[in-house]
Structure formats: structure tokens, C-alpha cells
């Protein structure tokens, strides 16, 4: 009898969801951009008021940073897959997906807070 070894799932589904979230964020910004004020609340760690505001074009920073984390995690995952197997690339894809989820939720909250 052959033993079945449970392999981690392929990161391809995680990659698809990750890219979809990044595109959703970009699409939401592009669709709602004309309805947004010139300055939007972006820096919630700063004191309340004018210091939290940033130009509306800075909203693109959120999906862009998600994309950068996605690219880096995929490149590191490719390197680790050659050396260690599938588990660490899967974990990196999961972390990248979590970053994209949090970024997309934050972006949607900012946009719909104003809209």
C-alpha cells in the first residue's frame, strides 16, 4: 500500500485571490476618485485633524504596497521552493494575502467613510 503524503495546497489559488484584491483596490480608487475630496484621511496613527490627511492620489499607495509585498514574497518563495519544498512558499503567500486583505479593507473603509 502506498502512503499518501499531505502536501500543502499550491499557492496558485492564494495568488489569484491576492491579485484580485489588488485589482479590486485599484478599481475602487479609479471609480470613486472623482467623488473623493482633494485630501483624504490616510494616516490614522497621527493626531486627529489635518495631520491625518493626505492627497487623494496617495490612496494608490495601499494597493501598490500590497503589490510590492506580493512580488517579494513570490520571489522569495521561488527561491525557498528550490531549497526547502512547498511549505515556506505557502506561508509567504498566506502572509502576502493577509497583507492584501488588510490593505483592501482599510482602503474600502477610507473610501466609504468619505463617500
pLDDT per residue as tens digits for the range 50-85: 999 999 999 999 999 999 999 999 999 888 888 777
Task: Compute φ and ψ for 55, nearest 5 degrees.
Answer: -60, 145
Alpha helix stretches (DSSP H) within 7-86 = 12-32, 61-84
Q: Which of 50, 51, 58 is nearest to 111 (CA)?
A: 58
Residues 86-105: tens digit of each pLDDT: 888 888 989 999 999 999 99
Q: Which residues pair with 55 in a beta bridge?
A: 39
Cα separation, 30 vs 34, in Å, equals: 8
* pTM score: 0.81
**Radius of gyration of the chain measured on its C-alpha atoms:** 18
Question: Cell 479609479 maps to which residue?
Answer: 30
Amino acid at each position: 500500500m502506498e502512503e499518501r503524503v499531505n502536501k500543502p495546497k499550491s499557492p496558485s489559488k492564494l495568488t489569484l485571490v491576492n491579485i484580485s484584491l489588488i485589482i479590486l483596490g485599484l478599481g475602487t480608487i479609479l471609480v470613486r476618485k472623482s467623488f473623493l475630496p482633494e485630501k483624504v484621511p490616510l494616516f490614522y496613527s497621527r493626531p486627529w485633524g489635518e495631520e491625518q490627511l493626505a492627497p487623494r492620489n496617495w490612496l494608490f499607495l495601499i494597493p501598490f504596497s500590497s503589490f510590492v509585498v506580493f512580488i517579494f514574497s513570490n520571489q522569495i518563495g521561488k527561491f525557498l521552493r528550490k531549497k526547502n519544498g512547498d511549505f515556506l512558499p505557502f506561508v509567504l503567500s498566506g502572509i502576502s494575502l493577509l497583507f492584501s486583505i488588510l490593505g483592501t479593507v482599510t482602503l474600502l473603509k477610507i473610501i466609504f467613510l468619505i463617500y
